[in-house]
Copies of this chain bind each other. A is one copy, B any other.
Amino acid sequence: MNFSEVVQQWIDDYLVNFLPSVSLDLVIFGFHEGQLKVLLLRFNESEDWLLPGGRVGNRENLDDAADRSLRERTGLDRLFLQQFHTFGNLNRLTYFSWHETLSRLGMKEMAVRLLEGDSALKNHRDVSVGFYALVDYTQVSPTPDLLTDECRWWDIDQVPQLLFDHNAMIRMALKTLRRQLSYQPIGYNLLPDSFTMSELQSLYETILGRSLDRRNFYKQLMNYNVLDRLDKRPTIPSSKAPYLYRFNKERYEQLLDSEDFWIG
């Protein structure tokens, strides 16, 4: 099956089984070696990158569709996943439009058929619900989809020019994430099961983009009462072993519930 046929099959499939006009995009954040990362896809046979997305099944909840899409891209389930904005401007898809994209990909015929024929797709654009997710970098198996060749992590500050309005989406998701971080302990899903205090602090510093005082950070986190201390980690020679911590899930979710502000 060549690429044109793949695209056609994808279109046929979505016309029948998914809501028209609505899509969703995922800003999937990971954290590794002191760097905040975001998962991107590379469009088939091109150098154009974009955010993973998805569509909503006819008989599927919006949130479930986001869950499913996240699972398909990362192999992970039941993660921190939250709506942050819904994008519905006309120029979403005309700035770097599908038409232009497909043309650049040498798919002029498809482009014409998609956008100038009398199909249901004429004059069409999606309203897209943006979600952001926090995942454990080490647990993820990045998986491309039908229309993409490659799926991999990018450092947040080295993200290239993306298709559509996806750069703006990332900026907005990051803004939301930062704000949220100052309200509630995030990080449950961004770190491995257990971690040291300085790893957690490094995560916070990376997200917030500024450095924090170690001692104040320690006090704050302990005040939340959300961390369980485990055994020490055997480490590199010639130093004291740092303690490992784990989020207390019960308490963690209690905190999210009490202060969460857009899941009613």
The reply to whether the CB of A4 lies closer than 8 angstroms to some CB of chain B is no
A171 and B261 CA atoms in complex are apart in Å by 11
A262 neighbours in B (Cβ, 8 Å)? 84-85, 172, 175-176
Which of these, B83, B127, B264, contacts A62 with CB under 8 Å?
Answer: B127
Residue of A19, A65, A172 with most chain B CB atoms under a 10 A cut-off:
A19
Task: For the complex formed, measure the closest distance between the CB of A202 and the CB atoms of chain B, giving whole angstroms.
Answer: 25
Which of these, B19, B62, B63, B89, contacts A63 with CB under 8 Å?
Answer: B89
Which of these, B20, B58, B62, contacts A123 with CB under 8 Å?
Answer: B58
**Which chain A residues (57-74) contact chain B, with CB distance < 8 Å?**
58-63, 65
The reply to whether the CB of A1 lies closer than 8 angstroms to some CB of chain B is no
Interface residues on A, range: 20 to 34
The reply to whether the CB of A168 lies closer than 8 angstroms to some CB of chain B is yes
List the 8 closest A-B pairs by CB distance, nearest first: A62-B88, A172-B264, A19-B21, A86-B86, A21-B21, A61-B89, A22-B127, A20-B20
What are 25 contact pairs spanning A and B, CB under 8 A? Answer: A19-B20, A19-B21, A19-B127, A20-B20, A20-B21, A21-B22, A22-B22, A22-B88, A56-B88, A58-B123, A62-B86, A62-B87, A62-B88, A63-B88, A63-B89, A85-B264, A86-B86, A88-B129, A127-B127, A127-B129, A171-B264, A172-B264, A175-B261, A175-B264, A179-B261
Apart from A86-B86, A168-B264, list 7 A-B contacts with CB within 8 A.
A20-B20, A20-B21, A59-B123, A62-B87, A62-B89, A62-B127, A175-B264
